[in-house]
Structure 1
Amino acid sequence: MQTRFPRRAAGLFAPAALGAALLALTAPTPAAAKAPEPANRVELTSMTGRWYEVARTPNAMQKACEAATADWTRSGSGYSVVQTCRRGAPDGPKKEWKANATSVDPEKNAKFKLSFFGGVMNQEYWILDHRTDQGWLIMGTPGGNYVWLLSKAPQLSAAVRSQAIARIKQLGYDPATLEFPQQVK
């Protein structure tokens, strides 16, 4: 599941990042001038399942969003994505965004187009880097305005989290701008 998700979809995809990100994309935030190209090929089977949002750049759709997740399920030639956010606290009121995702770069499988609200809103999200062995990925929007750190587990170890944040910095994003939403433990 920046897992900010949709055009400013929510976060995961961010893991949870994708859903809230959907509408937030319209408001620029300090970040990279343009997102870097994805570093590695993504094995599509690694996208399935639940992704937890660890960090994100601020966006309007995810304001006060805690415990954000993105659930990716194979659907035809793409994915069905359900992004969930809890308002104000990990047990707060639930907000949900649904999207269909398709890979738009068969060479690396690292760029996805998500369609929200029956195709009314579309947003591309790029997997800028990922570490399958550590269970995390960094997702961003092509314009470089938003970035998310997503994880297969609700929490990353301190060492792994530090490595992922360092990678976000190497990609041109300012770690000082990141929010670290509460996640279910």
Structure 2
Amino acid sequence: MRKLIIAVLIFFCGCSSVPKGILPVTGFEISRYLGTWYEIARLDHSFERGLINISAEYSQMDDGGVKVVNRGFDPIKNEWKEVEGRAYFVSDPSTGSLKVSFFRPFYGGYHIIALDKEKYEYALVCGPDRSYLWILSKKPFLDKKIKDDLILKAKKLGFDVSSLIQVKQESK
């Protein structure tokens, strides 16, 4: 658990700006984004390495921020790993660009760069640079065509999609 905390801390010591050439979604509605999101694919980082059944739960806080609870199962240790943080909009709440902290006062970028604006069922999210990328879904599985389209978009934006890890989601 200590390694997880240190790795997350290192990530979130970074900046909260959007990587050059990438624009977060506009017309964003946080109330529709709240709830549980499942990680479908990601670029590898030590704070999630080896975990399966990874999810993030987003809920509104009284101060206007968003409570973030990231969770994943370590099948080798047979235990759940969980970390709680908070997120705040970088500027306009109708733009999908937030700064997230798991260890205040350190914040890192969380930028929604593609979103199913009709149903809010899938999203493509990046961090403060192109080494952080997640494909998220409101369901534990995502239609192959949608996933392929998100991967193509990420590739066009300069992400190394050849390194994407497909996250195993199992029944709990």
TM tier, smaller: 0.7 to 0.9
> Are the equivalent residues in 2 in contact too, given 1:22–1:121 (CA < 8 A)?
no
Asked whether 1:79 is paired with 2:72, we answer: no
- The unaligned stretches of length 5 or more in structure 1 are 1-9, 11-18, 27-32
For 1:151, which of 120, 128, 137 is the aligned residue?
A: 137
Show the 5 A alignment for 1:33-48: 34=20, 36-48=22-34
Q: What is the percent sequence identity of the aligned residues?
A: 25
Q: Deviations over 1:80-128 (max 9, x none)?
A: 1111011137x941000100111112164311111213x1432121111
Q: Partners of 1:35 and 1:142 in 2: how far apart?
A: 12
What count of residue pairs does the alignment treat as equivalent? Answer: 160
Q: Partners of 2:157 and 2:25 in 1: how far apart?
A: 10
Asked whether 1:129 is paired with 2:105, we answer: no
Match of 2:125 in 1: 139
> Are the equivalent residues in 2 in contact too, given 1:111–1:124 (CA < 8 A)?
yes
TM-score (norm: length of structure 2) = 0.81
Q: Partners of 1:60 and 1:35 in 2: how far apart?
A: 26
Name which one, 1 or 2, has greater alpha-carbon Rg.
2
For 2:42, which of 52, 56, 66 is the aligned residue?
A: 56
- The unaligned stretches of length 5 or more in structure 2 are 13-18
| Backbone CA RMSD of aligned residues | 2.5
Q: Partners of 1:53 and 1:105 in 2: how far apart?
A: 26
Match of 2:159 in 1: 173
Give the drift of 1:59.
0.6
TM-score (norm: length of structure 1) = 0.76
